[in-house]
Structure 1
Amino acid sequence: MTCEFDSEMVERDEAIELMDRSDGTGVRLWHRTVPYSDDYVAVCVELSADGMVASMRGLILDYVAGRSLPGFISSLERDFAGWQGIRTWESMDHELRIEARHSTLGHVQLDWSLCRQSSESLSWTATVVTYLEAGEQLRQFAAAIHRFVLPDDAEDRR
């Protein structure tokens, strides 16, 4: 069994893009703001794959409590040697969900899902899958997420 792996992570100003060049799958986080208090940030998220693009603006992330996105990604980085089962993280309003699996081939599979629930009859869910090498790529991604969500705290992480 072979595993094709050709992903890259790009940081551009105030955005992070995680793209798989082999199939065009991508995740983009951009436009971080602090809308309410220092305990929350809002971000825009876009998922894309093979002719599909789904995006949401103003997703609220709690970055102080134990369920922060930087904390979740950092926990994957710390356990780079592997874990059993699926680890899950969700944004505060459950609009963005990430499921992480560790493969025996030394990669981490991240399933990114955006979900819009509406009181009307219009609801949708979009999911894309990205892969990162469990060592250096995952470390770089964890550092980029930390810098993006907590830019004032980036120096403290070193």
Structure 2
Amino acid sequence: MISQGDGKWADAAILCQDNSSVGVSFRDRHSSDDYCVHYSIEVQAPGLSARIDKVVAWIGDNGDLAPFLEKLAADFAGWDGERCWETNDRDLAVSAVFRSGGYVGLTWTLRPWRNASCGWSASVTTWLEAGEQMGSFAADIRHFLEGHAG
């Protein structure tokens, strides 16, 4: 779901269908050049709140988050196993599984200290309907990364 943020660009967020206190928010999108955008991502769950800044999305990169989510949405009939995606810097990773009944589980893992041997990571899993909800969320992320106001 896209919501107007405090800044110039709209924010995107997803709440878990099974537990609405679990969610992921994309915020503070900004572009420094024609090749990439930077954004912040926050995850929250009972007893957990984590955020990383300066996540990089490469403009026009078919290997970025929006195409990954769009492919999951297109495969609404399901798949076997786990599908994975991560940023080039490995500071954000997403794994997806399909469960019976037509639901997609997205596990969001933040690892902000990608260059340090000792750091932290945080993960939450959001569940959503494989068809319309997954497609709508994929479109929201594309709009967010491209800088559309919703």
Which TM-score band applies after superposition, normalised by the shorter structure? 0.7 to 0.9
How many corresponding residue pairs? Answer: 144
Equivalence for 2:28: 31
1:141 aligns with 2:133: no
- The 5 Å alignment of 1:49-88 reads 49-88=45-84
- Give the 3-state SS of the residue equivalent to 2:43 in structure 1: strand
Amino acid at match of 1:25: V
User: Percent sequence identity over matched residues?
Assistant: 32
CA contact (8 A) 1:63 1:70 kept: no
Which of 4, 7, 11 aligns to 2:3? It is: 11
Of residues 69-78 and 120-129 in structure 1, the stretch that sits farther from structure 2 once superposed is 120-129
CA contact (8 A) 2:84 2:93 kept: yes
Q: Which runs of 4+ in 1 moved over 2 A?
A: 9-13, 20-23, 116-122
Q: TM-score, normalized by length of structure 1?
A: 0.83
Deviations 1:107-153 (A, max 9, x none): 0000000012265564000000001101110111011111111135x
Q: TM-score, normalized by length of structure 2?
A: 0.87
TM superposition shift of 1:66:
2.3
CA spacing shift, 1:72–1:122, aligned 2, 3 Å: same
- The 5 Å alignment of 1:109-128 reads 109-117=105-113, 122-128=118-124
TM superposition shift of 1:38:
1.8
- Whole-Å Cα distance in 2 between the matches of residues 79 and 111 of structure 1? 18
| Higher gyration radius (CA) | 1
CA spacing shift, 1:118–1:147, aligned 2, 3 Å: closer
Q: Which runs of 5+ in 1 are unaligned?
A: 1-8
Q: Which runs of 5+ in 2 are unaligned?
A: none
Amino acid at match of 1:115: R
Question: For the aligned residues, what is the CA RMSD?
Answer: 1.9
Work out which structure has the larger RCO, using CA pairs closer than 8 Å and 6 or more positions apart in sequence. 2
